[in-house]
A and B are shown apart, each in its own frame.
Chain A
Amino acid sequence: MISQIGDWFDQRLQLAAPIRQVAEHPVPRSAASWWYVFGTAALTVFILQIVTGILLALIYVPSGAEAWSSLQALNHDVTLGWFIRAMHGWGSNFMVAIVLIHMVQVFLFGAYKFPRELTWIVGVFLLLMTLGMAFSGQVLRFDQDAYWGLGIGASILSRVPLIGPALVKLMLGGPIIAGATLSRFFALHVFVIPGLLIGFVSVHLLMVLKLGINDWPMPGRVVKRATYLSEYHALTKRDGAPFVPYAVWKDMFFAAFVLLAVGACALYFGPFGPTGRPDPTIIQTVPKPDYFFLWLYALLSLLPPSLETPVLLIGPVVVILLLLLLPFLSGEGEKSWRRRPIAVLTVLLIAIMLGTFTHLAEFAPWSPHMNAWSADPVPEQFLRGTTALERRGALVFQAKQCRNCHSLGERGGQRGPALDSVAVRLTQDQLIRQVIQGGGNMPAYGKNLSPAETTALVAFLRTLHPAGQAAARDASREIVLGDGPEKATQP
């Protein structure tokens, strides 16, 4: 009965034969490896994103006036709405991670070499689209982070010479970040990029099937354009096995494991945000990008200002060009990572760089602590045994927001140096000069401090040295003025 129905459909669709051919196409036994499961996993998470995305669209309203409230409704009012949001959010993180791992694996296994160059190039576009989805998705979570994140995007875009202002308006859909901005990011996130993704994924998959899965790289088995195809053909004939069931079970296990992991993260950590309402009149906010763009946030604060615009505008072009040109620069030769030390080092270097930047961005030492001046009092040990003048100085130190950038007793901002032992580093005159004139990335406070305040502040700073170490002093000044050791060498 079932086979009769099946036959009825196949007579009309005529798909059974090609599907069987695809399923049973021979793959090298060596390619049935746990290392080869990331592509399928990426596809699986992409399908999960489509499904959860459609579910979210049942409730979500892409309107600047209502998006935030509809997210709140999803989180709190709609049954299991929070879980679908969490799945979609975590699915996005997993998708970026898996796509990156897949890419590194393909790179290290030399799978981008002849004849799979175009598969790699399409893959580069898939990576860019995945990142585009991640960014536009962050915008659809229309909260304070989304609002100010758009502002940062606009700021970067506006630096493009000549057409910058026009690009900004095109991106925002008008002169400011408003309803039209959200609507166009909605169109990108829901129609344009997913449509392209589906098309590119299909081409990517088609090529994997047509060209065959990359054979396990053996050191010394060198790719040559003239001979590779026949070698690969011989290999699959001699030592091949049908993809189904020989290799596919590993893909299936890993895909299920990844889905389970996304579900577990969603269940345990819950949905992302939304943070505060996207109201630009609320400026008490510290916008931060989502996890996968944290490294960029770090880079933007650590680059010398003069290098920023060139790096922002030229950097991405160079990186994308290099990725696209890679299969043409090394389309032949060794595949094995054992014989490609520079490839391995490049991956390590990029991973360490991105990891370091991401780690730094998690606690952002370059950001002033905006509340430190009122929330982090001067620790007690710095006030013990001080004179009235020095205590007055500690008050000035606190009231003039010095703590927002300088820490004492490891509390306060890290934008400037910690001042626990500043008196050892700077003499009285140097302290006065630094406070009044600023410099070395510190604002000048000359106009905002009365002479009395400066005297008190410097008197306090002079007490900041370890017990066993004297404060720095200007010996020549003592000789010239003949007034003996400076008064401020205190306990």
Chain B
Amino acid sequence: MSNESTLSRRGFLVKLGILFNGLVAAALAVPIVGYILSAITRRREVSYLSWVSLGPVSDFPEGETRLASFRNPDVMPTDGKTVDTACWVRRIAGDQFQVFAVNCMHLGCPVRWFPQSALFMCPCHGGAYYRDGSRASGPPLRGLFEYPRKVLNGVVMIQAGVLPTPSASLAPVGKKSSCA
């Protein structure tokens, strides 16, 4: 055993060994953390934020709200049916559309449209919305989520690759409209 105040050869080598392992661990942590965070990083946004088609304008009668579905632009082989998503399409008149996510603004349950009373109702906690997506009653604080939309060559297109949640970049009705 060496004197405590002086650093022995073995003690030095142990410390060097710890340092060496620490460096290797730090180097390996970079790809590991990068792999784990790949779900957050923006590289895939190009793909899932591209515009998808809901079908020709003529599929949607004026003054009515219809259920449409689309396939997420970003598909992995193991996704199965989960990449097919429904949305509510309201054709006000001509090329004027509103496209709502089916997810309730409260906690994301699928809302259903009742044309007779012109209300969207949520089966989970009883949220209700008017035909323009604004909040009617129940626990939701704001209106339905609205996808950015456009009509291109007679086809209704939306940008809908992200699950609508209260903090996602989608604009809920009654806050601000993201697209004319």
Does chain A have a CB within 8 A of B116?
A: yes
Taking a contact as CB atoms under 8 Å apart, the answer to whether B78 and A65 are in contact is yes
**Which stretch from B19-27, B54-62, B101-109, B147-155 is at the chain A interface?**
B101-109
Query: Complex formed: what's the CA distance from A370 to B81 in Å?
Result: 25
**Which stretch from B10-18, B91-99, B137-145, B171-179 is at the chain A interface?**
B137-145
Taking a contact as CB atoms under 8 Å apart, the answer to whether A179 and B167 are in contact is no
Taking a contact as CB atoms under 8 Å apart, the answer to whether A281 and B86 are in contact is yes
Q: Which residues of A contact B118 (CB under 8 A)?
A: 447-448
Taking a contact as CB atoms under 8 Å apart, the answer to whether A176 and B69 are in contact is no
Taking a contact as CB atoms under 8 Å apart, the answer to whether A64 and B102 are in contact is no
Task: Look across to chain B and name the residue whose beta carbon is closest to the beta carbon of A400.
Answer: B117
Taking a contact as CB atoms under 8 Å apart, the answer to whether B79 and A158 are in contact is no
Q: How large is the interface on B (under 10, 10 to 19, 20 to 34, 35 or more residues)?
A: 35 or more
Task: Look across to chain B and name the residue whose beta carbon is closest to the beta carbon of A404.
Answer: B121
Taking a contact as CB atoms under 8 Å apart, the answer to whether A170 and B109 are in contact is no
Taking a contact as CB atoms under 8 Å apart, the answer to whether A178 and B79 are in contact is yes
Taking a contact as CB atoms under 8 Å apart, the answer to whether A151 and B109 are in contact is yes
- With both chains docked as a complex, state the minimum distance between the C-beta of A365 and any C-beta of chain B, in angstroms: 9
Query: Complex formed: what's the CA distance from A168 to B170 in Å?
Result: 14
Q: Which residues of A contact B78 (CB under 8 A)?
A: 63-66, 178-180, 182-183
Residue in A159, A172, A297, A401 whose beta carbon sits within 8 Å of that of B163 in the complex: A172
Residue in A68, A151, A404 whose beta carbon sits within 8 Å of that of B107 in the complex: A151
Does chain B have a CB within 8 A of A173?
A: yes
Taking a contact as CB atoms under 8 Å apart, the answer to whether A159 and B167 are in contact is yes
Residue in B40, B106, B126 whose beta carbon sits within 8 Å of that of A415 in the complex: B126
The interface of chain B, by Cβ under 8 A from chain A, is 36-37, 39-40, 44-45, 48, 67, 69, 72, 74, 76-86, 102-103, 106-112, 114, 116-119, 121-126, 128, 130, 136-141, 161-163, 165-169
**A-B residue pairs in contact (CB < 8 Å), sample of 19:** A65-B79, A66-B78, A151-B109, A170-B39, A174-B44, A174-B74, A175-B72, A178-B78, A179-B76, A183-B78, A283-B86, A300-B139, A367-B123, A370-B112, A404-B121, A443-B119, A443-B130, A444-B136, A447-B130
Q: A180-B76, A400-B116 are in contact. List 9 more A-B contacts (CB 8 A).
A: A66-B80, A151-B107, A151-B108, A169-B39, A175-B72, A287-B123, A370-B123, A442-B137, A443-B136
